[in-house]
């Protein structure tokens, strides 16, 4: 590197104030009950699994800096999905096939081993190469990379060189029983497309031993730029839920459509029907999984009781991650149980039942008449708030709650006229329709720098980060005083610290 460039880089580091030595220097935004890196950078959750009596969560991790850098696999485990403990780094880049990063992937239990399946990234003069690799462990702590890696050395011939985020599962039905399946994000090359060079696509492979894989073709792809489904679908998950199949992906390149697709990248799903014999997935529309400012790369697994549990990265590319100056960045959402709406067209999310074990003292529990503003005794530090309002009697335009943040205010309210749930972070609005409801029911998880909202039993969720250096209390509000009074039921609990 040229000396001037080196000095310039040092200056840049100074300007953005990233912490580069790997220590947390200030706890002001540290979370109390969320998975977060001990220090350094975290992005996608990976390898959600249950093995030897423990839940395992891995994550994209740079232990050396609060900036993204050649990803390792960080690792936490839990016996109850609530209390997590840090374990040694599971995968470190450095082999010829993963020297510039152990990118995202999944985990499966094969006999007495936990097997990680991940993308090896190698930077090259004209870009990068991406391959699929495996590593195994008998104790769930120490992983050994397979000597025959990569197990998939090349993307399909009709795809681009982007070839990443393998998600593996075992078929247990019919003639497929015992077959391993893998979906991988791999765009198809867009021919004569004036808008983009590739189309988002998920490809499918099968194997009997996790080592030799057969290409079965595209499982789902977009071949029409006007459908606005992006040029790359990262982090695919494909699973069965209550009679339907769901393909969950994190697309890049979708353009904002008024209130939809408001973040830099998206994370959403298609619901459809699938015949393994023909490899045909006929699917419905694309919907976002969460409508907040910071939710991406959600990863799903099936627990031993058959629940589909999902965890997302509680951040978004392009977001201002203010905790970077404190030596860390990124966190994961609380675990959520997925279900299908009664009409079968949408996914719903609910906090896993185990999370009620975090509840400590109760702050408030009574119907409250809100005329304008009502200050509660609920601190935002580490709390769960249950908020119900019967909408028939509400003439206010807005009813909800708010608290100050460093740049202004965070407001969460229902707009009774537009019938939308609105999350406004210093006037940067995310909103989503919840029409024709008689009761608004919110379950809100507040941590030191995060909010997760589950509206009407998880029909809608909104997840965002925020930053404030002190611990404000929650204020209930309606927007137009006496004439806009609302009778609100609020119950709130402090949530214990798991770290």
Ligand X SMILES: *[C@@H]1O[C@H](CO)[C@@H](O)[C@H](O)[C@H]1NC(C)=O
Residues that bind ligand X (CB under 6 A): 172-173, 177-178, 415, 418, 435-436, 439, 441, 456-457
For residues 486 and 498, give the distance between their C-alpha atoms in angstroms, rounded to a whole number: 36
Strand partners, 438: none
Neighbours of 191 (CB within 10 A): 8
Q: Shortest Cβ distance from residue 175 to ligand X (Å)?
A: 9
Q: Shortest Cβ distance from residue 454 to ligand X (Å)?
A: 10
For residues 95 and 145, is the Cβ–Cβ distance under 8 A?
Answer: yes
Rank residues 173 and 320 by Cβ distance to ligand X and give the closer one. 173
Q: Which stretch of DSSP H or E encloses residue 12?
A: helix 3-16
Q: Shortest Cβ distance from residue 421 to ligand X (Å)?
A: 11
Q: Shortest Cβ distance from residue 346 to ligand X (Å)?
A: 13
Nearest partner of 279 among 233, 332, 339, 214, judged by Cα:
214
Strands annotated E in 52-140: 54-62, 72-78, 85-91, 102-110, 113-124, 127-137
Q: Shortest Cβ distance from residue 167 to ligand X (Å)?
A: 21
Rank residues 153 and 439 by Cβ distance to ligand X and give the closer one. 439
Residue 454: CB partners within 8 Å, gap ≥ 6?
Answer: 349, 350, 351, 442, 443, 444, 445, 461
Nearest partner of 281 among 345, 217, 324, judged by Cα:
217
- 44 belongs to the catalytic site: yes
Is the C-alpha dihedral spanning 60, 312, 299, 386 positive or negative? Answer: positive
Active-site residue (options: 44, 165, 235, 415): 44
Q: Shortest Cβ distance from residue 462 to ligand X (Å)?
A: 15
Nearest partner of 387 among 409, 405, 412, 410, judged by Cα:
412
For residues 190 and 204, give the distance between their C-alpha atoms in angstroms, rounded to a whole number: 19
For residues 341 and 452, give the distance between their C-alpha atoms in angstroms, rounded to a whole number: 20
Rank residues 178 and 318 by Cβ distance to ligand X and give the closer one. 178
How many residues are recorded in the chain?
A: 499
Q: Shortest Cβ distance from residue 489 to ligand X (Å)?
A: 12
Tokens matching residue 98 = 């993963």
Rank residues 305 and 417 by Cβ distance to ligand X and give the closer one. 417
Q: Shortest Cβ distance from residue 422 to ligand X (Å)?
A: 7
Residue 306 Rama label (left phi>0; alpha psi -120 to 50; beta): left
Is the N-terminal amide bond of 6 cis, ω within 30° of 0?
no
Residue 397 Rama label (left phi>0; alpha psi -120 to 50; beta): alpha
Q: Which stretch of DSSP H or E encloses residue 15?
A: helix 3-16
For residues 349 and 353, give the distance between their C-alpha atoms in angstroms, rounded to a whole number: 12
For residues 100 and 421, give the distance between their C-alpha atoms in angstroms, rounded to a whole number: 42
For every residue of 26-72, DSSP letters joined together read --TT--SSS---SSEEEEEEEEEEEETTEEEEEEEEETT-SS--S-E
Tokens matching residue 103 = 């990118």
Rank residues 131 and 348 by Cβ distance to ligand X and give the closer one. 348
Rank residues 9 and 433 by Cβ distance to ligand X and give the closer one. 433
Q: Shortest Cβ distance from residue 341 to ligand X (Å)?
A: 11
Rank residues 245 and 414 by Cβ distance to ligand X and give the closer one. 414
Rank residues 123 and 457 by Cβ distance to ligand X and give the closer one. 457
Q: 355: helix, coil or strand?
A: helix
For residues 206 and 183, give the distance between their C-alpha atoms in angstroms, rounded to a whole number: 9
Rank residues 98 and 384 by Cβ distance to ligand X and give the closer one. 384
Where in the sequence numbering do the catalytic residues fall? 44
């Amino acid at each position: 590197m040229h000396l001037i460039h080196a000095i310039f880089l040092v200056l840049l580091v100074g300007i953005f104030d990233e912490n580069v030595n790997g220590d947390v220097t200030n706890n002001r935004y540290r979370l109390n009950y969320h998975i977060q890196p001990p220090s350094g950078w975290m992005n996608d959750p990976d390898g959600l699994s249950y093995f030897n009596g423990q839940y395992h969560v891995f994550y994209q991790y740079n232990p050396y800096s609060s900036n993204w850098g050649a990803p390792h696999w960080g690792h936490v485990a839990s016996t109850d999905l609530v209390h997590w403990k840090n374990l040694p780094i599971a995968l470190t880049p450095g082999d010829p096939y993963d020297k510039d990063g152990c990118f995202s992937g999944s985990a499966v239990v094969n006999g007495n081993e936990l097997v990680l399946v991940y993308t090896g990234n190698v930077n090259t003069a004209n870009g990068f190469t991406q391959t699929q690799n495996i590593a195994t462990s008998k104790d769930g702590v120490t992983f050994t990379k397979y000597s025959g890696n990569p197990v998939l050395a090349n993307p399909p011939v009709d795809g681009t060189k982007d070839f990443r985020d393998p998600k593996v599962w075992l078929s247990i039905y019919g003639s497929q029983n015992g077959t391993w399946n893998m979906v991988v994000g791999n765009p198809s090359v867009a021919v004569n497309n004036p808008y983009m060079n590739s189309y988002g696509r998920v490809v499918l492979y099968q194997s009997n031993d996790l080592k030799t894989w057969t290409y079965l073709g595209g499982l789902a792809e977009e071949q029409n730029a006007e459908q606005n489904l992006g040029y790359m679908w990262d982090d695919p998950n494909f699973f069965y839920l209550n009679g339907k199949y769901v393909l969950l992906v994190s697309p890049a390149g979708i353009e904002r459509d008024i209130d939809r697709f408001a973040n830099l990248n998206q994370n959403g799903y298609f619901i459809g029907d699938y015949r393994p014999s023909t490899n045909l997935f006929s699917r419905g529309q694309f919907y976002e999984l969460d409508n907040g400012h910071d939710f991406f790369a959600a990863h799903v697994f099936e627990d031993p009781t058959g629940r589909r549990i999902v965890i997302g990265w509680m951040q978004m590319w392009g977001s201002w991650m203010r905790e970077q100056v404190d030596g860390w960045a990124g966190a994961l959402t609380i675990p959520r149980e997925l279900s299908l709406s009664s009409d079968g067209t949408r996914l719903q999310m609910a906090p896993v039942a185990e999370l009620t074990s975090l509840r400590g003292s109760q702050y408030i529990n009574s119907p409250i008449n809100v005329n304008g503003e009502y200050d509660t005794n609920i601190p935002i530090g580490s709390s769960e708030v249950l908020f119900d309002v019967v909408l028939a009697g509400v003439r206010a335009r807005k009813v909800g709650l708010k608290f100050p943040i460093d740049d202004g205010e965070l407001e969460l309210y229902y707009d009774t006229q537009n019938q939308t749930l609105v999350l406004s972070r210093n006037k940067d609005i995310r909103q989503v329709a919840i029409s024709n409801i008689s009761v608004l029911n919110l379950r809100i998880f507040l941590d030191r720098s995060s909010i997760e909202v589950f509206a009407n039993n998880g029909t809608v969720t909104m997840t965002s980060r925020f930053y404030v250096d002190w611990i404000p209390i929650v204020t209930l509000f309606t927007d137009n005083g006496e004439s806009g009074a609302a009778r609100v039921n609020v119950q709130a609990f402090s949530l214990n610290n798991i770290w």
